Each structure stands twice: as C-alpha cells, then as structure tokens.
C-alpha cells in the first residue's frame, strides 16, 4: 500500500527523488510523515494510540482525500486509493478487536 512509502522505514525512492532540490522536498515530507505515523514502529505504540489512528485519523484522512496527498499521487498515480480499496480498509479497521488489544497491555 502506498501509505508505507512515507509512513514507514521502507521508503522506495524513485531516481528523481535523489536530485536536489526535489530531494529536499521529498525528504522533508517523508520525515514529517514518519513523525506523524510510522508503521515500522507500530508495535511500540500503546493500544490507545493505535485506536486513535484506526478509528479516527486514518479513515478521516482517506475519506477527505488528505492521504495520499495530491503532490504524491501526481508523481505516483498508482498510489491513488480506489473506492474498493477504501471499503477494504474500512472493513479491515472494523474487524480489529481493540478491547482484546487493551487487555494484553
């Protein structure tokens, strides 16, 4: 999923991402994205923070088309989230039992 390109430690850079000044823009955006949410550190988050992302921020950002940003999908059109993918994400989020997670902490 395109989320991991910026929101994880597994960014796959394109050749043009290494050319200044574009590289500065890309690096800054990825740094901000990881600061906000880094899926590579997901296991370190307390359950309340995961709940906050799953039931608030992630669905909201996808539905309002804040994520993925237009500046990203312009250069990566395959990163656009289709209506079917939105439904899959929503179904996946609603299938998570957060009460079970909180008991394990």
What is the sign, positive or negative, of the torsion defined by CA atoms of 72, 76, 77, 80? negative
**67: closest CA among 10, 22, 29?**
29
Number of domains in the chain: 1
Range of the domain at 86: 3-104
pLDDT exceeds 90 at position 29:
yes
Q: Give dist(CA 60, CA 7) in Å, integer.
A: 16
pLDDT (mean) for 86-98: 83
Question: What pLDDT sits at residue 1?
Answer: 65
pLDDT per position as a tens digit, 44-70: 999 888 888 888 888 899 889 899 999
**69: closest CA among 59, 82, 81, 52?**
81
Q: Give dist(CA 83, CA 65) in Å, integer.
A: 11
pLDDT (mean) for 12-23: 92
Q: Give dist(CA 37, CA 3) in Å, integer.
A: 10
pLDDT (mean) for 16-31: 94
Output 21 or 91, whichever has higher pLDDT.
21
Question: What pLDDT sits at residue 92?
Answer: 83
Question: What pLDDT sits at residue 100?
Answer: 66
């Amino acid at each position: 999923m395109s989320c991991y390109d910026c929101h994880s430690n597994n960014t796959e850079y394109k050749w043009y991402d290494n050319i200044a000044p574009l590289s500065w823009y890309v690096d800054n955006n990825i740094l901000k994205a990881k600061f906000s949410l880094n899926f590579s550190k997901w296991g370190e988050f307390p359950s309340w923070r995961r709940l906050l992302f799953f039931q608030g921020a992630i669905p909201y950002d996808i539905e309002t088309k804040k994520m993925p940003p237009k500046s990203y999908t312009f250069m990566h059109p395959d990163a656009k989230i289709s209506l079917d993918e939105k439904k899959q994400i929503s179904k996946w989020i609603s299938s998570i039992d957060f009460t079970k997670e909180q008991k394990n902490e």
